[in-house]
Structure 1
Amino acid sequence: MDPALYRAFAHYNSWMTRQVYAACADMPDAERRQDRGAFFKSIHSTLNHILFGDRVWMGRFTGRSYDHKGMGADIFESFADLQEAHLAMSDEISQWVETLDADWLSGDLTWTSTDGKRTSSRPRWLLVSHLFNHQTHHRGQITTLLSQSGRDVGVTDLPFIPQ
């Protein structure tokens, strides 16, 4: 896998994360936390889940320890704190992908699940791809929820990342 692909995905992640938070910024807190029938119920909890995934996978990739409360539990109750941490993580991911090379990507990563119940091993390129796919999947859910509440995130297509 070409590390340039992951740099593009990281740039897309940063752009879209900022777009989503901008679209959420003027929502009343109760509206962001409203159970909308999504997998993680609310926009707020889905944003927390994306950050959870980013922290778990970046911890596995880098060895750094990140706080989280487990699958499905909000890391941050405050929207401002969540936004600050999420944007910082997006920036961290962007910096980290600059260090990737084809040799590292071609190796395997072995990890233990967050609940400690299973150990798995997969190619690193697949897991880094999953990091970005996971973000995109759940941001897509959020953009739908925002659209249903009358808010437009704007263009979300990868080819239209601002240069």
Structure 2
Amino acid sequence: MNHPEEMYSYHTWATQTILGRIQELPDSVLHQEVNSSFRSIAHALSHMYAVDQMWYLVLTGVSMPEALQMCMPRNEEIYDSVEDYSRRYMELSKQYAAWFQEHTDLEQTILLDNPFAGIRNTSLAEIIFHLINHGTYHRGNISTMLRQLGHASVMNDYSLFWYTKPAID
């Protein structure tokens, strides 16, 4: 497994870890309004999911402007339950796993037409690392939102992820 793929595995694990914590709490926590970066934890999760989908499309050859147009409306698709989010994330992670199987040269570059920043050659690995960084940032938002709602979050740091894998001799 290469480093970007390992980091994507971390991203999947960390997202499922925080979803698992939310699932332990009363159902109302998902949609409870909070004064934060997002109106609710569900809104934050929908944003993360939409962006993960958008980057997947870019990695599979869709232009970034087109991928944004397709996925950004999904920011407002608020699902009823944590299970809905978990299922969607797992389905998308399977698509990413298949993509990784087909792409061994992650230093390959594509011409990325980012409507917010301009055009540049960007490696596939850079896109993966950005996706992971974006998820980490918003899992931090969710942890803060949980605390604002009176609940503890759960550790989902990369250093904890190291210990979830079999030890290397």
With the shorter chain as reference, the TM-score category is 0.7 to 0.9
| Equivalence map 1:20-59=2 (5 Å) | 20-59=18-57
Equivalent position of 2:77 in the other structure: 75
Tell me by how many angstroms 1:101 deviates: 2.7
AA of the residue aligned to 2:140: G
> Which sections of structure 1, spanning at least 5 residues, go unmatched?
none
Query: In the alignment, is the contact (CA less than 8 A) between 2:18 and 2:156 conserved in 1?
Result: no
Aligned partner of 1:7 in structure 2 is 5
TM-score normalised per structure 2: 0.75
User: What CA distance in whole angstroms lies between the structure 1 residues aligned with 2:26 and 2:134?
Assistant: 26
CA shift at 1:7, angstroms? 1.4
How far did 1:52 drift? Answer: 0.6
State how far apart, in whole Å, the 2-side matches of 1:44 and 1:91 are: 22
Given that residues 9 and 132 in structure 1 are in contact (C-alpha distance below 8 angstroms), is that contact kept between their aligned partners in structure 2?
yes
TM-score by length of structure 1 reads: 0.77
| Aligned pairs for 1:1-163 within 5 A | 4-63=2-61, 68-70=71-73, 73-79=75-81, 80-102=83-105, 104-111=106-113, 113=115, 120-124=119-123, 125-148=125-148, 149-153=150-154, 155-161=155-161, 162-163=164-165
Indicate the SS of the match to 1:25: helix
Question: Given that residues 36 and 145 in structure 1 are in contact (C-alpha distance below 8 angstroms), is that contact kept between their aligned partners in structure 2?
Answer: yes
Taking the aligned partners of 1:109 and 1:78, their CA distance within structure 2 comes to 37
Structure 1's consecutive aligned runs of 4 or more residues displaced over 4 angstroms after TM superposition are 64-67
Q: Deviations over 1:69-96 (max 9, x none)?
A: 527x322422232221122212332342
Q: Secondary structure at the match of 2:25?
A: coil
Aligned residues: 155
Change (3 A) 1:63 1:107: closer
Q: Give SS of 2:24's match.
A: coil
RMSD of aligned alpha carbons: 2.8
Q: Aligned pair in 2 of structure 1 residues 118, 137: CA closer, same or farther (>3 Å)?
A: closer
**Partner Cα distance (1:18, 1:63) in 2:** 27
Deviation by residue 1:100-146 (Cα, 9 ceiling, x = unmatched): 333x5331233465xxx986334123222211111111111112222
* Separation in structure 2 between the aligned mates of residue 69 and residue 20 of structure 1, nearest angstrom: 23
Partners of 1:33 and 1:42 within 8 A in 2: yes
Give 5+ residue unaligned stretches, structure 2. Answer: none
